[in-house]
């Protein structure tokens, strides 16, 4: 067992959410369509054929849901602003109703003694901007900077904690290269352009927020996995390095002034062709913290048939894992991976502070007699927090941990089957049931 006190009084514990996954209200009060509103209507895109049109109805139920947050002794919540709700067409006039909603949401958090951590972009680009090229259009630097400035105009007098981008590798990689996520493109050229522009936006908006108020705590988040070679052979080891450069380092190292990781993965030199004069100097920004979003370990093998990476992920079914070591997402449960990633980030000179901005697991939960006995999730959280404490004890500057997520929600292309929440959500009735893991987190935080 681990104790809250072992982390020290200043360590931040919270819970994370995102707009499209929980808000619903997709066509009310002037909100415009996002790329996800369009994507979910395309046949075969979402495994269960669902959408985020209603999601958890957080747009209407936020007050009651924040009461749940307070009941669980959670002092910090991460939520994102829907660009389409604030600026329906992506550019042009703001939507007063959208601004009013986020204004009230912020006040509702503060009234309950909950600190809001606001993410500016969590994957839901306005569809109107996608029709103009989206992240592959360099104009996104201006679009996103204007949007960020307007969010700050609405919330900047009360919000102090900001995250610029949520997992750029996910929304750029799956959105423009694999096509698994909105906008569903499969274009290496579009991917490279979008990656270049997202990295520039990350730094540009970081500077904007820093200049807007010296009180702002400005961060951004990266998705990361611990990649381990499938065998001890040299070919698998080099394949693992290539995967790490692509997945873990592509959006981090330019921000730290190290440029794109082209030495390990020479194919990334094509990214440099997207840069214009002065861009190299604009890529770095000294964030107050880097948000780490980590869930699993992957095993990597060499594979010459895979273009670009010449590497492949070894399927979980080949790893000989017991069922409790594989989540509903098909991810390997390997708590030490979080420790190893924290140690790796701490090795970068330019990182001041690390916050684990997402960590959690989906398991096949059931409500039985009004109770959700999700022992596997509780064990997952305990074991991963122990690894955070281990890293912290060794001097790693990790100063926060946010559970993904508060409510069972719309999990993008997976639909509603994977349940990550501390709170069970019935998508039909919107009834909430705190799971045993939620009560455990409450007691841990209150201890």
The catalytic residues are 167, 358
CA separation for the pair 379, 327 (Å, rounded): 12
Closest C-alpha to 367, from 323, 318, 424:
424
DSSP letters for 296-327: EEEEEEE-TTSTTT-EEEPPGGGTT--GGGB-
CB within 8 Å of 429: residues ≥ 6 apart: none
312-315 long-range contacts, Cβ below 8 Å, gap at least 24?
A: 312/239, 313/243, 314/230
Helices (H) and strands (E) counted in the chain, each on its own, are: 15, 11
CA separation for the pair 144, 206 (Å, rounded): 11
> Which two structure tokens, joined as six digits, stand for 322?
């017991």
* Residue 38 buriedness (CB in 10 A; 0-12 / 13-18 / 19+): middle
Alpha helices (H) in 213-329, listed in sequence order: 234-244, 269-272, 279-282
CA separation for the pair 174, 28 (Å, rounded): 28
CA separation for the pair 230, 240 (Å, rounded): 9
Block residue for tokens 């006995």: 373
The CA distances from residue 162 to 165, 265, 354, 439, in Å, are 10, 31, 14, 28
Closest C-alpha to 445, from 123, 70, 28, 107:
70
CB within 8 Å of 266: residues ≥ 6 apart: none
CA separation for the pair 202, 148 (Å, rounded): 11
CA separation for the pair 293, 218 (Å, rounded): 16
Pair 98, 86: CB distance under 8 Å: yes
CA separation for the pair 420, 328 (Å, rounded): 9
Left, alpha or beta for 95 (phi > 0: left; psi -120 to 50: alpha)? beta
3-state secondary structure of 425: strand
> Which two structure tokens, joined as six digits, stand for 92?
């042009």
DSSP label of 86: H
């Amino acid at each position: 067992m681990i104790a809250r006190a072992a982390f020290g009084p200043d360590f931040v514990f919270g819970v994370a959410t995102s707009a499209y996954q929980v808000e619903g209200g997709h066509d009310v009060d002037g909100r415009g369509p996002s790329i996800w509103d369009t994507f979910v209507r395309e046949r075969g895109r979402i495994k269960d054929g669902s959408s985020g049109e209603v999601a958890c109805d957080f747009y209407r139920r936020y007050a009651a849901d924040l009461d749940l947050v307070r009941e669980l002794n959670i002092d910090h919540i991460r939520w994102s602003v829907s660009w389409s709700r604030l600026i329906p067409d992506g550019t042009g006039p703001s939507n007063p109703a959208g601004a009013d909603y986020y204004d009230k949401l912020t006040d509702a958090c503060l009234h309950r003694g909950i600190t809001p951590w606001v993410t500016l972009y969590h994957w839901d680009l306005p569809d109107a901007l996608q029709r103009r090229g989206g992240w592959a259009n360099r104009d996104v630097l201006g679009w996103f900077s204007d949007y960020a400035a307007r969010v700050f105009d609405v919330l900047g007098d009360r919000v102090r904690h900001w995250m610029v981008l949520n997992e750029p590798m996910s929304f750029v990689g799956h959105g423009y290269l694999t096509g698994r996520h909105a906008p569903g493109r499969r274009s290496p050229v579009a991917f490279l352009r979008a990656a270049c522009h997202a990295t520039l936006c990350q730094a540009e908006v970081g500077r904007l927020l820093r200049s807007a108020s010296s009180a702002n705590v400005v961060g951004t988040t990266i998705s990361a996995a611990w990649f381990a070679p499938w065998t001890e052979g040299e070919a698998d080891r080099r394949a693992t390095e290539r995967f790490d450069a692509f997945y873990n380092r592509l959006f981090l190292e330019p921000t730290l002034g190290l440029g794109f990781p082209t030495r390990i993965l020479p194919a990334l030199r094509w990214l440099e062709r997207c840069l214009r004069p002065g861009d190299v100097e604009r890529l770095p920004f000294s964030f107050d913290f880097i948000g780490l979003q980590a869930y699993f370990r992957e095993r990597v093998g060499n594979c010459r048939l895979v273009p670009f990476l010449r590497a492949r992920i070894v399927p979980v079914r080949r790893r000989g894992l017991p069922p409790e070591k594989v989540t509903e997402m098909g991810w390997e449960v390997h708590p030490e991976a979080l420790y190893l990633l924290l140690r790796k980030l701490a090795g970068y000179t330019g990182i001041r502070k690390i916050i684990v901005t997402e960590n959690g697991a989906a398991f096949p939960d059931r409500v039985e007699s009004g109770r959700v006995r999700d022992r596997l999730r509780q064990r997952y959280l305990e074991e991963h927090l122990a690894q955070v404490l281990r890293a912290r004890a060794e001097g790693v500057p990790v100063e926060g941990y946010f559970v993904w997520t508060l409510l069972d929600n719309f999990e993008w292309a997976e639909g509603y089957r994977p349940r990550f929440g501390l709170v069970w959500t019935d998508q039909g009735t919107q009834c909430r049931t705190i799971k045993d893991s939620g009560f455990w987190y409450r007691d841990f935080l209150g201890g």
